[in-house]
A and B are shown apart, each in its own frame.
Chain A
């Protein structure tokens, strides 16, 4: 043996496996040395921070140079065109999701340092936290279907355990159990699908499967597709699996909610993309497009209406999370380049703004001890930072320009309506309408949260609330800044992040060649390599926020005016204990008392018209685990019937 070349470790080739291992090693070391608070925080910080750095270093070779990293464990490279070893393969799509994962994990880790400091069993928390992160990253980078399954199991376990982590919180155990049961049905589906594919192709390598499976036809393959698809749907919490997300988010600590909504759902979406675009390559089929778009639209609409009916801050956010995932699935399901780019853009934005909102909810919970909208109010005077950050997040998710939600939703509307006109199918036009109305409903529901939590009257119980520590504010600010930046520079985001990733979605042969050698795909599949250049990102128009700098200038000007005016005597607020009559609120002559409009009653005029729908939905979400499992089984059966008929 020659000497080990240490420099070899700095080869980007090794970065993906290092990034995954850092999380798992971090988890391991925290078990060993986690008793000490400083050691524990250092390990967690190093693991998440280094991982993120490694992935950022991969941006150049993969996004900019268009390369693919295939890494064979133990150096077992394929022999005779046959994959023997276990592989990691990182293309632009994988790295895109990997970056989302690493960013969300890093930020929520920063947040956890102060947020979780009052909990007992902190070492276990960080161990599970890093296991979850490692599971998702491993799944996203895996080049092997069975390893994907194992990583899915790891992340499901970690997520279940973290959901039940604060087991004295109402519903935490219950949510964890429901999640475990339905999650396991999903995982079993993935395993069964994997093994059916193995029976057909006698390989588990994704790239090799992608050369063999599209040429196989038969019931077996269709059934495998449906099983894998439903399995990944449970991970992404697509309708009808959305109640699990709502329960799990509501009970889990805020940083974990960030991971479940920002990262875990993304792993499901990633799985669906890999499945439909790469493994089976059936996105050119109208039936599959319809299927994805239908599921996406139903998810976005059902979940946004469910969110309107909620009166718990985190549960409401959870439903919105699935609603936004519906947008992503719809856009991806259009099977156009613009749709893919828009979907990925929205997936990224969703991680950022939803993370921010969950962290804000965590801050509120940390200070007041409740997330019940009926018991909160008027926190803007006590927690000004959190209020501003929350408003940024709320504006982003509702698609208020110039924040990031607007840019991606804009692309999604264009993509859906273009598809409608291209195919002449009015159904896609209705998808555009549903998406636009959903966006307004999202705004309504965040108006509700703003009014019930941050504005309105301050109840007595919340009078001791104060601003959260700087560590938590730092984590929230990072996400808020990212939300604003990705909204202000959508062209750069598309050019450097989403379009390279979307391009790989339409270049399967590149993925296959990356794993084996150049020309393998053409040779094995007998197909001419689809040209990446054929992918067009034509848009109807360009969202150009440059003009918005003018608006920002005006806003700054107004802020200056207000700042000066605030000093002005006429608007000085009464500082003394006794409020002068002039400065007190008008109650129509009634004695002053707490008369906040309850969050649940806020949109009475809307709910009254939809009362039958709302009461039906309320009864449907019965909270019984048997019902949710039944939905899973029915969804599986329906998908199976649909697939066997049309595919």
Chain B
């Protein structure tokens, strides 16, 4: 009985919150807001905010064409593989003080780092399985973009781990829960002077990781027909679009939790102020935390993704690589050196 209950609980985590359903709704919403914001910045009216939902359901209703030359299983499995890993990734990111017990207490920063690779790998495998030359060019660019983002991301995460570890027990901290708990107790990490370059670097990594403008050479519509997605249609294409939306949510919420995790410290007292106790307080507190997280994500999206999208033009792939390994990595490295020597 107990086993069944816990299994149901895990299933609820995976399927509803903070798993699939939450990811689906908030990711798509974030995507819609981003499109609207970009449009407004460019003095366009822009699509309705719910447009990504309409697009997704429209795509699901369309015929799925598997090219004759493609490896069918891989072609159809790839989007699902990416989706599954993104959903699991979201399980590792705590929502302020609310963390799934099964995933807490783990050195999960490295897991997150590797899980971030899987969606890219899945889209690469999916594209490669078609044998399309456009996909070939696209996957090559996608992989280089991933490579480009990896170095600054690693540097940022190591700096954060060093700061949190050094001030809690003199060691290192690779646990997201540990990082967030530290912030709840000591205030957000963004106030830590040494980590400001790292925060900027992470903000610059976000559009690269999600494949947004100007770092979307891998899916350049005008030159290589969306690259790896060239042969995709119907539901699998919809799932890939969904993956993109969820990745935006993942990256922005990761940013919020790494650098603004302290904001959640007031939430519980806020709930207590209203006079709620027990389960009700927990539920309301959780909802509030999610709401705050989402709002912060929207702000990060507006600054990190939409604004950058609106004011820049697409970079060439070797420029992307150079940019990330010089400017962004330089910022992150500066941060690592600063925190290492105690700033």
Chain A residues with a Cβ under 8 A of chain B: 377-378, 380-381, 384, 387, 391, 398-401, 406, 410, 413-414, 417-418, 421-422, 426, 429, 432-433, 436-437, 440-441, 443-444, 447-448, 450-451, 455-458, 539-544, 546-548, 550-551, 554-555, 558-559, 561-562, 565-566, 570-571, 573-574, 579, 582-588, 595-597, 601-606, 608-609
Contact = CB atoms under 8 A, between A and B. Distances in A.
B80 A436 contact: no
A541 B174 contact: yes
Contact of A421 (B76, B113, B128, B166): B166
Contact of B174 (A399, A540, A583, A603): A540
Interface in B75-118: 76-77, 80-81, 84-85, 87-88, 91, 102-103, 105-108, 110-111, 113-115, 117-118
A417 B158 contact: yes
Interface string B123-141: 0110011111110110111
Contact of A380 (B67, B102, B129, B336): B129
B172 A561 contact: no
A541 B105 CA distance: 7
Contact of A451 (B139, B230, B340): B139
Nearest to B102: A547
B231 A555 contact: no
B257 interface: no
B63 A570 contact: yes
A455 B85 CA distance: 22
Interface stretch (B144-152, B241-249, B296-304): B144-152
Contact of B114 (A401, A429, A456, A609): A401
Contact of A584 (B68, B118, B125, B166): B68
A559 B336 CA distance: 43
Given A555-B81, A566-B72, A585-B131, A433 B106 contact: no
Given A543-B106, A606-B321, A418 B77 contact: no
Interface string B299-343: 000000000000000001110111001000000000011001000
Given A401-B114, A440-B147, A540 B136 contact: no
B234 interface: yes
Contact of B133 (A444, A587, A606): A587
A458 B131 contact: yes
Nearest to B146: A440
Q: Per DSSP, are chain B's interface residues mostly helix, strand or loop, or mixed?
A: helix
Contacts of A604: 140, 144, 317-318
A450 B129 CA distance: 9
Interface in B2-42: 10-11, 14
A455 B74 contact: yes
B73 A562 contact: yes
B46 interface: no
Contacts of B187: none
Given A400-B114, A421-B162, A609-B318, A547 B77 contact: no
A550 B14 contact: yes
B173 interface: yes
Nearest to A455: B128
A610 to B, nearest CB: 9
Contacts of B170: 421
Interface in B201-258: 217, 225, 230-231, 234
A172 to B, nearest CB: 32
Given A540-B174, A585-B69, A436 B150 contact: yes
Contacts of B108: 541
A430 B107 CA distance: 19
B154 to A, nearest CB: 5
11 contacts: A421-B172, A541-B105, A543-B107, A554-B84, A570-B63, A585-B69, A585-B131, A588-B225, A597-B136, A602-B139, A609-B325
Contacts of B121: 400, 443, 447
B71 interface: yes
B194 interface: no
B143 A447 contact: yes
Nearest to B236: A571
Most buried by B among A398, A450, A451, A605: A605
Given A421-B162, A562-B80, A573-B72, A456 B136 contact: yes
Contact of A551 (B88, B144, B320, B321): B88
Contacts of B102: 546-547
B141 to A, nearest CB: 6
A426 B336 CA distance: 9
Nearest to A569: B63
Most buried by B among A414, A550, A597, A603: A550
Given A437-B151, A440-B147, A583-B67, A429 B322 contact: no
B107 A401 contact: no
B277 interface: no
B151 A447 contact: no
Contacts of B88: 547-548, 550-551, 554
Contact of B71 (A380, A541, A585): A380
Given A565-B64, A596-B133, 16 more contacts: A410-B107, A417-B174, A539-B107, A546-B102, A551-B85, A551-B88, A559-B77, A566-B72, A573-B66, A584-B69, A585-B133, A585-B231, A586-B132, A586-B225, A603-B144, A604-B144
